[in-house]
Amino acid sequence: MKLGEGVEAAIHCTATLASVEGNSTMPGAALAECFGLSASYLLKHLNMLTAASILESVPGPAGGYRLARAAERITLLDIVLAIEGREPAFRCGEIRRNGPVKIDASAYVKPCGINAAMLKAERAYRAALAELKLSDIVADYAAEGDPRSFAASCAFVARHQRPQKSSSTPQKQM
Amino acid sequence: MKLGEGVEAAIHCTATLASVEGNSTMPGAALAECFGLSASYLLKHLNMLTAASILESVPGPAGGYRLARAAERITLLDIVLAIEGREPAFRCGEIRRNGPVKIDASAYVKPCGINAAMLKAERAYRAALAELKLSDIVADYAAEGDPRSFAASCAFVARHQRPQKSSSTPQKQM
DNA sequence: GGGTTCCTACTCGGATAACGTATGTCCGAGTAAATCTGG
DNA sequence: CCAGATTTACTCGGACATACGTTATCCGAGTAGGAACCC
């Protein structure tokens, strides 16, 4: 049981993007510089987040990434599933059937109890992740984090964010 | 997030070993045959379970594996941690510090909020796994599983278990 | 001077290698049972 | 016939190759901005 390295980067980048104002975007290279990561590799993860409709990408100069929806509607579960895949961590290979004595398939119509137990635990994990909204992460960071690092992050975002010409989404559509 | 293939084998084997009576043992080769696995590779996982004090191994002829303690005192969490390691699935690389602007280390004395959130979810996962006792798995299998496969498993165990010398319950059956 | 056209520079996106971990296999150390031998 | 040492066969344990997945990198497609040019 081990999560990929990209999950951490994805969460940090998503949290950072939650600080950009309006429909401005932030280039992936800036995000990579922000966390000392390889820009080329981070793009892959950001692309996965885009495919999962968590981020939006704007090509061309002054382009970049932006949250696809409000931070209140993004959970850590969304990010983890986007990066690690939606498959359950425990995959039942039905090895109970591979024994030497072959039994009729009708004996295995019921799901494997071990698989059910593991999936039950995993549902608890995902439920806990679904409770954690990105907006809460950012709020906690602003409230309990060190003011110096918070200010530095805000300054970095303000320096690298590129306002859009209201191409796709106007100011606000609430 | 993906669990290794060996976790499934380890749980199945441990559940099977819960059916052997007294202090009898069952060879690893028999367990491998029971689930159609590679014997050489299964030994590695069984060895990990032994190192975690979940199983006991008896060398020599008529040797094999046996539960180190009652099935009521073995949880799925014990097995998963023995195979996958006790490290948390989410490893915080502290990438927040790797930014271009260097800030004094005193700004990072507080733990990373993202790491705290992920660990909180993982605690929920482990707590759910700790609630699942091996005895419950076996009981559910005996109660709700198909009688044919259950009988076949019992017959396989009875055929391959090897009573030990100090056993006070001798059973001679071929 | 204004509008149009072309060019450039910057962005994301996917295809392509290198590394590390998990998987799979092999042979050696150890032990208890069975056997052989001597009394 | 019984006791003891020896042989033996079976077990686990760790060391050695292999395969897959993740990590890391590069180059190409696309777009918007800016500059040059013509009217």
Whether A117 has its CB under 8 Å from any CB of chain B: the answer is yes
Query: Encoding tokens for residue A50?
Result: 């885009």
Query: Per the domain annotation, does A100 fall within a domain?
Result: no
Query: Per the domain annotation, does B78 fall within a domain?
Result: yes
HSE, CB side, 13 Å, CA atoms: give it for residue A132.
25
> Per residue in A18-39, pLDDT tens?
999 888 999 999 999 999 999 9
Dist CA B37 CA B19 (whole Å): 19
HSE, CB side, 13 Å, CA atoms: give it for residue B41.
9
Considering only CB atoms, B3 lies closest to which of A5, A90, A96, namely A90
Which of B51, B68, B52 has the alpha carbon at shortest distance from B17? B68
Query: Per the domain annotation, does B80 fall within a domain?
Result: yes
> Per residue in A105-123, pLDDT tens?
899 999 999 999 999 999 9
Task: For B140, name the nearest residue in chain A, comparing CA atoms only.
Answer: A113
Q: Give, for B67, the enclosing helix (H) or strand (E).
A: strand B64-67
User: What part of B 45-104 touches A (C-beta under 8 Å)?
Assistant: 76, 80, 84-85, 87, 89-93, 95-96, 98-101, 103-104
Q: Which residues of A touch B3 (CB under 8 A)?
A: 1, 89-91
> Per residue in A63-108, pLDDT tens?
999 999 999 999 999 999 999 999 999 999 999 999 888 899 899 9
Instruction: Say which residue the tokens 């690893």 belong to.
Output: B28
Query: Per the domain annotation, does B121 fall within a domain?
Result: no
Question: How high is the pLDDT of residue B148?
Answer: 92
Average pLDDT estimate for A13-17: 97
Q: Give, for B135, the enclosing helix (H) or strand (E).
A: helix B134-144
Question: How high is the pLDDT of residue B44?
Answer: 96
Q: Which residues of B touch A118 (CB under 8 A)?
A: 11, 76
Q: Which nucleotide is nearest to B38 (CA to C1')?
A: C24
Contact flag B146-A118 (C-beta cutoff 8 Å): no
Question: How high is the pLDDT of residue A174?
Answer: 34
Average pLDDT estimate for A35-63: 94
Dist CA A54 CA A67 (whole Å): 6
The CATH code of the domain that includes A149 is: 1.10.10.10
Query: Per the domain annotation, does A116 fall within a domain?
Result: no
How many domains, chain B? 1
Using the predicted structure, report yes or no on whether residue A61 has a pLDDT greater than 90: no
Nearest CA to the C1' of C23 belongs to which residue?
Answer: B41
Q: Give, for A55, the enclosing helix (H) or strand (E).
A: strand A55-58
Regions of chain B with pLDDT less than 70: 165-174
Query: Per the domain annotation, does A169 fall within a domain?
Result: no
| Residue range(s) defining the domain that contains residue A21 | 5-87+133-160
Contact flag A84-B129 (C-beta cutoff 8 Å): no
Q: Which residues of B touch A84 (CB under 8 A)?
A: 1-2
Question: How high is the pLDDT of residue A173?
Answer: 36
Question: How high is the pLDDT of residue A71?
Answer: 97
Query: Per the domain annotation, does B119 fall within a domain?
Result: no
Question: How high is the pLDDT of residue A166?
Answer: 57
Query: Per the domain annotation, does B94 fall within a domain?
Result: no
